[in-house]
Amino acid sequence: MDGIIFSIEEFAINDGPGIRTTVFLKGCPLRCAWCHNPEGWRSEPEKMLKKGREELCGYRISAVDLSKRLSRDRDLFRESGGGVTFTGGEPLQQAPFLCEVMDDLEGIHKAVETSGYAPEEAFRSVLERADCTLFDIKLVDSALHRQYTGVGNEPILRNLKTLIASGKPFVARIPLIPGVNDTRENMEATASLLQGAEGLQRVELLRYNRVTGAKYPMVGLTYRPPFDENQAPVVHDVFTGRGMKLLVL
Protein backbone atom coordinates (compact mmCIF):
# COMPACT_ATOMS: atom_id res chain seq x y z
CA MET A 1 0.00 0.00 0.00
CA ASP A 2 1.17 3.54 -0.74
CA GLY A 3 0.94 6.57 1.52
CA ILE A 4 1.87 10.24 1.19
CA ILE A 5 4.45 11.76 3.51
CA PHE A 6 6.11 15.17 3.43
CA SER A 7 9.20 14.80 5.60
CA ILE A 8 11.43 12.37 7.45
CA GLU A 9 13.50 13.95 10.19
CA GLU A 10 16.32 12.05 11.84
CA PHE A 11 17.84 12.47 15.30
CA ALA A 12 14.67 13.97 16.82
CA ILE A 13 14.72 14.10 20.61
CA ASN A 14 11.36 15.70 21.51
CA ASP A 15 8.97 13.21 19.95
CA GLY A 16 9.23 10.35 22.39
CA PRO A 17 12.03 8.49 24.22
CA GLY A 18 15.64 8.30 22.97
CA ILE A 19 16.87 9.27 19.53
CA ARG A 20 14.09 9.01 16.99
CA THR A 21 13.23 9.32 13.36
CA THR A 22 10.06 11.34 12.86
CA VAL A 23 7.84 10.73 9.84
CA PHE A 24 5.37 13.43 8.78
CA LEU A 25 2.26 12.08 7.06
CA LYS A 26 0.35 14.42 4.81
CA GLY A 27 -3.28 15.45 5.32
CA CYS A 28 -5.18 16.83 8.30
CA PRO A 29 -8.93 17.40 8.82
CA LEU A 30 -8.30 20.15 11.39
CA ARG A 31 -7.31 23.75 10.79
CA CYS A 32 -5.92 24.82 14.14
CA ALA A 33 -5.48 28.58 14.26
CA TRP A 34 -1.96 28.07 15.67
CA CYS A 35 -0.79 25.24 13.39
CA HIS A 36 2.86 25.55 12.46
CA ASN A 37 2.76 22.85 9.78
CA PRO A 38 0.26 24.13 7.18
CA GLU A 39 2.11 22.13 4.52
CA GLY A 40 0.68 19.07 6.28
CA TRP A 41 -2.97 20.06 5.74
CA ARG A 42 -3.66 18.98 2.16
CA SER A 43 -3.67 15.26 1.47
CA GLU A 44 -1.95 15.49 -1.90
CA PRO A 45 1.58 16.67 -2.75
CA GLU A 46 1.67 20.44 -3.38
CA LYS A 47 4.04 23.15 -4.48
CA MET A 48 6.02 24.91 -1.77
CA LEU A 49 8.31 27.91 -2.14
CA LYS A 50 11.59 27.38 -0.28
CA LYS A 51 14.36 30.00 -0.42
CA GLY A 52 12.88 31.38 -3.65
CA ARG A 53 12.69 27.95 -5.31
CA GLU A 54 9.54 25.99 -5.96
CA GLU A 55 9.67 22.44 -4.58
CA LEU A 56 7.14 19.68 -4.31
CA CYS A 57 6.03 19.11 -0.72
CA GLY A 58 4.87 15.54 -0.20
CA TYR A 59 5.55 12.34 -2.07
CA ARG A 60 4.06 8.93 -2.47
CA ILE A 61 5.93 6.04 -0.87
CA SER A 62 5.06 2.39 -0.37
CA ALA A 63 4.77 0.96 3.15
CA VAL A 64 7.51 -1.52 2.27
CA ASP A 65 9.95 1.18 1.13
CA LEU A 66 9.22 3.41 4.10
CA SER A 67 9.68 0.62 6.64
CA LYS A 68 12.95 -0.44 4.95
CA ARG A 69 14.18 3.14 5.13
CA LEU A 70 13.23 3.43 8.83
CA SER A 71 14.72 0.06 9.75
CA ARG A 72 18.19 1.20 8.65
CA ASP A 73 18.60 2.89 12.05
CA ARG A 74 17.43 -0.08 14.07
CA ASP A 75 20.79 -0.34 15.95
CA LEU A 76 20.80 3.38 16.81
CA PHE A 77 17.26 3.11 18.15
CA ARG A 78 18.18 0.12 20.28
CA GLU A 79 21.29 1.78 21.74
CA SER A 80 19.53 5.08 22.54
CA GLY A 81 16.21 3.61 23.65
CA GLY A 82 14.64 5.48 20.73
CA GLY A 83 12.52 4.55 17.75
CA VAL A 84 10.18 5.99 15.17
CA THR A 85 7.49 8.63 15.68
CA PHE A 86 4.67 9.21 13.20
CA THR A 87 3.11 12.64 13.08
CA GLY A 88 1.69 15.01 10.48
CA GLY A 89 -0.65 16.50 9.53
CA GLU A 90 -2.85 13.91 11.17
CA PRO A 91 -1.25 10.46 10.70
CA LEU A 92 -4.52 8.63 11.41
CA GLN A 93 -5.90 10.05 8.15
CA GLN A 94 -3.82 7.29 6.52
CA ALA A 95 -4.48 4.63 9.13
CA PRO A 96 -4.32 1.52 6.86
CA PHE A 97 -0.97 2.65 5.42
CA LEU A 98 0.32 3.57 8.88
CA CYS A 99 -0.67 0.16 10.27
CA GLU A 100 1.15 -1.61 7.44
CA VAL A 101 4.34 0.38 8.11
CA MET A 102 4.07 -0.26 11.86
CA ASP A 103 3.60 -3.99 11.30
CA ASP A 104 6.84 -4.01 9.29
CA LEU A 105 8.79 -2.35 12.12
CA GLU A 106 8.71 -5.23 14.55
CA GLY A 107 11.18 -4.78 17.41
CA ILE A 108 11.40 -0.99 16.92
CA HIS A 109 9.69 1.36 19.40
CA LYS A 110 6.83 3.16 17.68
CA ALA A 111 5.14 6.38 18.82
CA VAL A 112 2.24 8.16 17.15
CA GLU A 113 1.40 11.80 17.65
CA THR A 114 -2.27 12.45 16.95
CA SER A 115 -4.97 15.05 17.36
CA GLY A 116 -7.25 12.10 18.17
CA TYR A 117 -9.62 13.21 15.41
CA ALA A 118 -10.26 9.91 13.64
CA PRO A 119 -12.91 7.21 13.25
CA GLU A 120 -12.94 4.86 16.25
CA GLU A 121 -11.87 1.84 14.22
CA ALA A 122 -8.86 3.67 12.75
CA PHE A 123 -7.85 4.90 16.19
CA ARG A 124 -8.08 1.42 17.71
CA SER A 125 -6.09 -0.18 14.90
CA VAL A 126 -3.19 2.27 15.34
CA LEU A 127 -3.36 2.23 19.15
CA GLU A 128 -2.99 -1.54 19.11
CA ARG A 129 0.34 -1.20 17.26
CA ALA A 130 1.77 1.84 19.07
CA ASP A 131 4.17 1.58 22.00
CA CYS A 132 3.38 5.15 23.00
CA THR A 133 0.77 7.69 21.92
CA LEU A 134 1.36 11.44 22.01
CA PHE A 135 -2.22 12.67 22.29
CA ASP A 136 -2.90 16.36 21.67
CA ILE A 137 -5.66 17.92 23.74
CA LYS A 138 -6.50 21.44 22.64
CA LEU A 139 -9.87 22.51 24.09
CA VAL A 140 -12.41 20.57 26.12
CA ASP A 141 -15.35 22.83 25.19
CA SER A 142 -16.58 21.54 21.81
CA ALA A 143 -17.94 24.90 20.57
CA LEU A 144 -14.60 26.60 21.26
CA HIS A 145 -12.80 23.64 19.71
CA ARG A 146 -14.85 24.09 16.55
CA GLN A 147 -14.22 27.83 16.57
CA TYR A 148 -10.43 27.47 16.73
CA THR A 149 -9.79 24.19 14.87
CA GLY A 150 -12.72 23.96 12.47
CA VAL A 151 -14.12 20.73 13.96
CA GLY A 152 -15.97 19.64 17.10
CA ASN A 153 -14.04 17.50 19.56
CA GLU A 154 -16.50 14.61 20.10
CA PRO A 155 -14.40 12.00 18.21
CA ILE A 156 -11.31 13.22 20.06
CA LEU A 157 -12.87 12.83 23.50
CA ARG A 158 -14.23 9.40 22.55
CA ASN A 159 -10.78 8.26 21.37
CA LEU A 160 -9.15 9.70 24.49
CA LYS A 161 -11.50 7.52 26.58
CA THR A 162 -10.50 4.50 24.48
CA LEU A 163 -6.82 5.32 25.01
CA ILE A 164 -7.25 5.70 28.77
CA ALA A 165 -9.27 2.49 29.03
CA SER A 166 -6.54 0.58 27.13
CA GLY A 167 -4.02 1.35 29.90
CA LYS A 168 -1.35 1.81 27.22
CA PRO A 169 1.38 4.44 27.75
CA PHE A 170 0.61 7.93 26.52
CA VAL A 171 1.68 11.54 26.86
CA ALA A 172 -0.97 14.29 26.87
CA ARG A 173 0.26 17.28 24.88
CA ILE A 174 -1.45 20.62 25.28
CA PRO A 175 -0.44 23.55 23.08
CA LEU A 176 -0.70 26.70 25.22
CA ILE A 177 -2.39 29.36 23.10
CA PRO A 178 -2.68 32.78 24.73
CA GLY A 179 -6.26 33.78 25.43
CA VAL A 180 -7.64 30.65 23.74
CA ASN A 181 -7.09 27.58 25.88
CA ASP A 182 -4.77 28.80 28.66
CA THR A 183 -7.69 29.38 31.04
CA ARG A 184 -7.93 27.70 34.42
CA GLU A 185 -11.35 26.37 33.40
CA ASN A 186 -9.97 24.58 30.31
CA MET A 187 -6.96 23.23 32.20
CA GLU A 188 -9.15 21.95 35.06
CA ALA A 189 -11.46 20.26 32.55
CA THR A 190 -8.45 18.67 30.83
CA ALA A 191 -7.02 17.46 34.14
CA SER A 192 -10.41 15.93 35.01
CA LEU A 193 -10.40 13.98 31.75
CA LEU A 194 -6.94 12.61 32.54
CA GLN A 195 -7.50 11.92 36.22
CA GLY A 196 -6.82 8.29 37.09
CA ALA A 197 -5.41 7.36 33.66
CA GLU A 198 -2.98 4.55 34.41
CA GLY A 199 -1.09 4.88 31.13
CA LEU A 200 -0.48 8.63 31.46
CA GLN A 201 3.28 9.18 31.58
CA ARG A 202 3.17 12.97 31.76
CA VAL A 203 1.38 16.10 30.65
CA GLU A 204 3.32 18.40 28.34
CA LEU A 205 2.37 22.05 28.04
CA LEU A 206 3.82 23.41 24.81
CA ARG A 207 4.15 27.17 24.84
CA TYR A 208 3.04 29.03 21.72
CA ASN A 209 5.97 29.81 19.48
CA ARG A 210 5.99 33.11 17.60
CA VAL A 211 7.66 31.60 14.52
CA THR A 212 4.47 29.61 13.94
CA GLY A 213 3.39 31.61 10.88
CA ALA A 214 6.69 31.24 9.00
CA LYS A 215 5.64 28.51 6.57
CA TYR A 216 2.24 29.92 5.53
CA PRO A 217 3.50 32.09 2.65
CA MET A 218 5.50 29.11 1.35
CA VAL A 219 2.24 27.28 0.59
CA GLY A 220 0.35 30.38 -0.58
CA LEU A 221 -1.46 31.05 2.69
CA THR A 222 -1.57 34.01 5.06
CA TYR A 223 -1.19 33.50 8.78
CA ARG A 224 -3.79 35.51 10.73
CA PRO A 225 -4.03 34.19 14.28
CA PRO A 226 -7.30 35.22 16.00
CA PHE A 227 -5.43 35.83 19.27
CA ASP A 228 -2.70 38.13 20.47
CA GLU A 229 0.60 36.47 19.55
CA ASN A 230 2.52 38.89 21.74
CA GLN A 231 0.71 37.87 24.89
CA ALA A 232 2.50 35.22 26.94
CA PRO A 233 0.30 32.17 27.62
CA VAL A 234 -0.66 31.58 31.23
CA VAL A 235 0.60 28.36 32.81
CA HIS A 236 -1.93 26.91 35.29
CA ASP A 237 -0.49 23.91 37.03
CA VAL A 238 -3.62 22.00 37.89
CA PHE A 239 -1.88 18.71 37.12
CA THR A 240 0.86 18.02 39.67
CA GLY A 241 -1.60 18.47 42.56
CA ARG A 242 -3.56 15.58 41.03
CA GLY A 243 -0.47 13.35 40.93
CA MET A 244 0.40 13.90 37.27
CA LYS A 245 3.90 14.59 36.04
CA LEU A 246 4.11 17.95 34.26
CA LEU A 247 6.59 19.27 31.73
CA VAL A 248 6.37 22.85 30.42
CA LEU A 249 8.21 23.18 27.12
Q: At what angle do helices 154-166 and 120-129 cross, to 10 degrees?
A: 30
Phi, psi of 133 (to 5 degrees): -115, 130
Yes or no: say if 20 and 13 are a contact pair by the CB < 8 Å rule. Answer: yes
Shortest CB 175 distance to ligand SF4, Å: 7
Which residues sit at the interface with ligand SF4, rule CB under 6 A? 28, 30-32, 35, 37, 40, 88-90, 115
Return the bridge partners of 56, or none.
Answer: 47
Shortest CB 73 distance to ligand SF4, Å: 25
Nearer to ligand SF4 (CB atom), residue 31 or residue 68? 31
Q: How far apart are CA 167 and CA 128, in angstroms?
A: 11
Nearer to ligand SF4 (CB atom), residue 156 or residue 197? 156
Q: How far apart are CA 210 and CA 100, in angstroms?
A: 36
Return the bridge partners of 174, or none.
Answer: 205
Shortest CB 225 distance to ligand SF4, Å: 12
Q: Which among 15, 173, 7, 1 is positioned nearest to 84, based on CA atoms?
A: 15
Shortest CB 52 distance to ligand SF4, Å: 25
Shortest CB 35 distance to ligand SF4, Å: 3
Q: How far apart are CA 127 and CA 143, in angstroms?
A: 27
Nearer to ligand SF4 (CB atom), residue 208 or residue 239? 208
Strands 132-136 and 53-57: unpaired
Nearer to ligand SF4 (CB atom), residue 19 or residue 144? 144
Nearer to ligand SF4 (CB atom), residue 110 or residue 145? 145
Shortest CB 36 distance to ligand SF4, Å: 7
Q: Which among 118, 123, 109, 22 is positioned nearest to 66, based on CA atoms?
A: 22
Yes or no: say if 163 and 194 are a contact pair by the CB < 8 Å rule. Answer: no
Strands 20-25 and 83-87: parallel
Nearer to ligand SF4 (CB atom), residue 83 or residue 89? 89
Shortest CB 119 distance to ligand SF4, Å: 16
